[in-house]
Amino acid sequence: MDLVTTLARLPEIGETLIAEKLDYFVGGKGANQAVAASRVGGDVALLGKIGCDTFGEKILNQLKQECLNLVNIEEDDQSFTGIANVFKLPTDNCITVVPGANGRIDDTYVVEHADIIAEADVLLMQLEIPIEAVKQGLRIAKAAGVITILNPAPFSAAVLNLLPQVDYLTPNELEFASLLPDRLKALPFEEAMLSFSEKYDTTVIVTRGAKGVAYVQDSQLLTVPTREVTVSDTTGAGDTFNGILAQQLSRGESLANAISLATAGATYATTKFGAQTGMPTLLDLQALAPK
């Protein structure tokens, strides 16, 4: 559950501020990305856990309004539903996460759902669950020839050890900088991207906010620009990008086309308030296309 606090700026250490308002939204990176993929036509199964509490009940009820396969969602009576504290600022946000039931997703849970992973076209994962569960999911998917996408958020240095099992890595600019060894951190962005891509087989796709989306193909750095829009809320924009990217790759779209549509979707999401509430349908994106 996203607890979204709207305020003009973050407080300093020891300072108390009066915020403008507090909103509750169904969130979580996995759920957000699943909704984004399904809204543009994806056949999506969501794996995860919620607590046996009011938030968990509300989340399930709302997700049932989407076109999602939820039969593998487990209610964990030993924990509470995960919470994200989202601090919404005028042009951006910052987030803290309390994992709750997400932290209780283990190897056993993943192995129990190996069949649904192996039958998929794409496995999309994030790091709001324990790293060992992520490793297990990626191993199962790669063994079955499934395309794997890892959104390395919240960031963990363990990501580098996962790269042999990851086809597409989708960090934002800060997460990408955290991945770089010291010798590359001082380089201009383009040089750092090219050097990183030479070392690893994983295709890295960096979301850069208003600066667009950058990726390397055939030893060239390519950038997909974003449209200029009036930003209402950036919460969920990255999740929108990842969900649409996964759906497009599952259909066999080229990487360039997949990134282009995902970028358009993420840009659209920033014009709406809330994460899942702002995610577009294909009709929404078609309406944005030049006439």
User: How many distinct helices (H) and strands (E) make up the chain?
Assistant: 12, 14
The verdict on whether residue 145 carries a ligand-binding annotation is no
The verdict on whether residue 157 carries a ligand-binding annotation is no
Alpha helices, H only, the chain: 29-39, 54-63, 107-112, 114-118, 131-143, 159-162, 173-179, 182-185, 189-199, 237-250, 255-269, 282-288
The verdict on whether residue 16 carries a ligand-binding annotation is no
d(CA 209, CA 237): 9
The verdict on whether residue 32 carries a ligand-binding annotation is yes
Amino acid identity for residue 86 in this structure = V
The verdict on whether residue 267 carries a ligand-binding annotation is no
The verdict on whether residue 21 carries a ligand-binding annotation is no
The verdict on whether residue 211 carries a ligand-binding annotation is yes
**239 labelled catalytic:** yes
Is the separation of the CB atoms in 81 and 51 below 8 Å? yes
The verdict on whether residue 77 carries a ligand-binding annotation is no
d(CA 61, CA 18): 32
The verdict on whether residue 151 carries a ligand-binding annotation is no
d(CA 215, CA 233): 25
d(CA 37, CA 49): 19
The verdict on whether residue 271 carries a ligand-binding annotation is no
DSSP 172: B
The verdict on whether residue 41 carries a ligand-binding annotation is no
The verdict on whether residue 141 carries a ligand-binding annotation is no
The verdict on whether residue 14 carries a ligand-binding annotation is no
- For 220, phi then psi, to 5°, come to -125, 140
Chain centroid to Cα 200, Å, comes to 21
The verdict on whether residue 207 carries a ligand-binding annotation is yes
Residue indicated by tokens 């669950």: 129
Q: Which residue is catalytic, options 201, 218, 239, 284?
A: 239
H or E segment to which residue 235 belongs: none
The verdict on whether residue 257 carries a ligand-binding annotation is no
Task: Sort strands 147-151 and 168-169 into parallel, antiparallel or unpaired.
Answer: parallel
H or E segment to which residue 20 belongs: none
The annotated binding site for ATP is made up of: 172, 207-212, 238-239
Residue ranges at the known binding site for K(+): 233, 235, 269, 272, 274
List, as residue ranges, the binding site for substrate.
Answer: 28-32, 128, 239
As annotated, the binding site includes 28-32, 128, 172, 207-212, 233, 235, 238-239, 269, 272, 274
Which residues are the active-site residues?
Answer: 239
